[in-house]
Amino acid sequence: MLRAAAHSVKQPGGLTASLCARRSLQNRWFSATRVTCAETAFPSLDSFSDEENMLRESVKRFAEEVVAPKVREMDENETMDPEIVKGLFEQGLMGIETSSAHGGAESSFTSAIIAIEELAKVDPSVSVLCDVHNTLVNTIFRKYGTQVQQEEWLPQLAESKVGSFCLSEPASGSDAFALQTRARKDGDDWLISGSKMWITNSAEAEVFLIFANIDPSKGYKGITCFVATKEMGVQIAKKEQKLGIRASSTCALSLDDVRVPAKNVIGGEGLGYKIAIEILNEGRIGIAAQMLGLAQGAFAKAVPYTYQRVQFGQPVGMFQGMSFQIANAALSIESARLLTYNAARRKEEGRSFVKEAAMAKLAASRVAQEVSGAAIEWAGGVGFTRETGIEKYWRDSKIGAIYEGTSNIQLQTIAKFIQKEYS
Ligand SMILES: Cc1cc2nc3c(=O)[nH]c(=O)nc-3n(C[C@H](O)[C@H](O)[C@H](O)COP(=O)(O)OP(=O)(O)OC[C@H]3O[C@@H](n4cnc5c(N)ncnc54)[C@H](O)[C@@H]3O)c2cc1C
């Protein structure tokens, strides 16, 4: 669906580059019907191209019609329904920014953010599957892969194979570059040994981007990124039982002399640390979008209930004590939305975005937790049951403060920018 949308709407906008500085995006197109830069030099942050609006509608429909009926069962069983993964591929949602030559939708980064947000409104687990696959795995191939590597891997990732990003280990989380996994040369191949932990999508994945150190004497400058598969020896070990996003698989990986051909080094030997830093900086905008969608999903489930539930002769949502809480939650969601979209647009425009991405992720994860927690209370006892699905949003929200950099790590990033500016 996205693929079709991308091709049918793609057209040059006819807008001057100077006027569209905020919107001069490599892969975005503006149709005549959109509020254009010519009409408004600085369009609002929630102003989207026709293509992006169409994408939002199609993902929303997919999430409501295909994902929603399976959310509770997948959460209870702690598994991702393969039909949903298949559906994501069929919808063109697994190669959003990938070029059409490589089987993708060739769409904008903001399109990926919109898809992640819309999926998270219904199920943050499905959202993170799509997020990691697009914003981390595909992006690494697109940004750092050679032409040959892109031709080999991107079509498979757009059409049928799920990818995983394998950086964290038992002893290296926030301090990711202390990783212990090693790779040593053996003829024309590399042999990778060690273990990885907390790897999202690993139960479904067929393509693994593994970070290993080829020369520990060089410290983090020995870290290198490799593409590996199960056929090469990647073994999926323990699957974690989690508080939230339970349908999203999170497993440990066992790497025992995984034999990877030299051609599977991505971006050059010793450049893995650079790839990981850069990719996580932009990946954080994806997590912000996931948390934003989650907050909106919880809000939309609980608020209508407060207007139906009558106590003391009136809908509970109409009591000032409740309506002010609801208004405050709406404000928090809107703030997170603007931070997230702004970080996404800055990235697309080629402007600095690292501080903004950290702020967006930090704020959106806080808002997700705050709003989903309040939503349980707004629905009273019903909100506390698993039947309504409101409590699931709250369980799912906790991960926003942990993965792709904990909240403290986001604060550290923001603080560094402030120190640079003011000291
Ligand atoms: C469900 C899930 C999915 C994940 N998916 C992936 C994945 O796909 N790929 C992958 O590579 N990793 C993944 N991770 C790993 C994730 O990125 C790490 O869990 C995260 O970076 C935190 O590392 P840690 O768990 O080791 O916590 P630690 O680093 O041990 O942190 C523990 C606490 O100490 C604090 N802390 C640490 N250092 C500092 C500091 N310098 N200053 C202040 N406070 C500090 C942290 O904020 C945190 O509160 C996933 C994790 C989970 C739980």
283 — phi, psi (to 5°)? -60, -30
| Ligand 1 neighbourhood includes 406 CB (under 6 angstroms) | yes
| Alpha-carbon distances, residue 370 vs 114, 338, 344, 358, 409 (angstroms) | 22, 17, 23, 18, 20
Q: Which residue minimizes the CA distance to atom 24 of ligand 1?
A: 173
Would you place residue 3 in the very low, low, confident or very high pLDDT band (cuts 50, 70, 90)? very low
Atom of ligand 1 nearest to the CA of 248: 1
User: What's the rounded mean pLDDT across residues 18-26?
Assistant: 34
Taking the C-alpha atoms of residue 27 and residue 41, their distance in angstroms, rounded to an integer, is 19
CATH number of the 277-422 domain: 1.20.140.10
| Ligand 1 neighbourhood includes 305 CB (under 6 angstroms) | no
Atom of ligand 1 nearest to the CA of 200: 8
Q: What is the pLDDT of residue 40?
A: 64
| Ligand 1 neighbourhood includes 166 CB (under 6 angstroms) | yes
Q: Give the distance (Å) from ligand 1 centre to CA of residue 363.
A: 17
| Alpha-carbon distances, residue 188 vs 121, 207, 247, 263, 384 (angstroms) | 47, 21, 39, 9, 57
CATH number of the 164-273 domain: 2.40.110.10
Atom of ligand 1 nearest to the CA of 166: 11
Give one DSSP letter per residue of 97-130, joined into a string.
SS-GGGTS----HHHHHHHHHHHHHH-HHHHHHH
| Ligand 1 neighbourhood includes 146 CB (under 6 angstroms) | no
Beta-carbon count within 10 A of 152 CB: 16
Would you place residue 39 in the very low, low, confident or very high pLDDT band (cuts 50, 70, 90)? low
Atom of ligand 1 nearest to the CA of 168: 11
Burial of 309 (0-12, 13-18, 19+ CB in 10 A): middle
Q: Give the distance (Å) from ligand 1 centre to CA of residue 169.
A: 10
pLDDT digits (tens, 9 = 90+) for 78-118: 999 999 999 999 999 999 999 999 999 999 999 999 999 99
Q: Do the bridges between strand 163-166 and strand 207-213 make them parallel or antiparallel, or are there none, so unpaired? A: parallel
Q: Is the pLDDT of residue 34 over 70?
A: no
- Give me the chain's average pLDDT, please: 92
CA angle 120, 121, 127 (to 5 degrees): 15
Give one DSSP letter per residue of 339-359, joined into a string.
HHHHHHHHHHTTS--HHHHHH
Taking the C-alpha atoms of residue 301 and residue 344, their distance in angstroms, rounded to an integer, is 27
Catalytic residue at 206?
A: no
Q: Which helix (H) or strand (E) holds 234?
A: strand 234-239
Q: What is the pLDDT of residue 41?
A: 73
Q: What is the pTM of this model?
A: 0.93
Check 52, 169, 356, 404 and give the catalytic one: 404
| Ligand 1 neighbourhood includes 29 CB (under 6 angstroms) | no
pLDDT digits (tens, 9 = 90+) for 172-223: 999 999 999 999 999 999 999 999 999 999 999 999 999 999 999 999 999 9
| Ligand 1 neighbourhood includes 332 CB (under 6 angstroms) | no
- Annotated domain spans of the chain: 2-162, 164-273, 277-422
| Ligand 1 neighbourhood includes 174 CB (under 6 angstroms) | yes
Specify whether the CB–CB gap between 155 and 132 falls below 8 A: no
Which of 31-35, 182-186, 330-334, 365-369 has the weakest average pLDDT?
Answer: 31-35
CATH number of the 2-162 domain: 1.10.540.10
User: What's the rounded mean pLDDT across residues 390-411?
Assistant: 98
Q: What is the pLDDT of residue 27?
A: 38
Q: Is the pLDDT of residue 2 over 70?
A: no
pLDDT digits (tens, 9 = 90+) for 151-177: 999 999 999 999 999 999 999 999 999
Q: Give the distance (Å) from ligand 1 centre to CA of residue 7.
A: 39
Residue of 132, 234, 251, 406 with the most ligand 1 atoms within 8 Å of its CB, for mutation? 406
Beta-carbon count within 10 A of 421 CB: 8
| Alpha-carbon distances, residue 213 vs 177, 180, 258 (angstroms) | 9, 7, 14
| Ligand 1 neighbourhood includes 413 CB (under 6 angstroms) | no
Residue 209: CA count within 13 A, CB half-sphere: 33
Q: Give the distance (Å) from ligand 1 centre to CA of residue 220.
A: 18
Q: Is the pLDDT of residue 13 over 60?
A: no
The tokens for 73 are 């069962």
Torsion over CA: 210, 215, 216, 219 (sign): negative
Q: Which helix (H) or strand (E) holds 381?
A: helix 380-384
Would you place residue 15 in the very low, low, confident or very high pLDDT band (cuts 50, 70, 90)? very low
Q: Which residue minimizes the CA distance to atom 30 of ligand 1?
A: 173
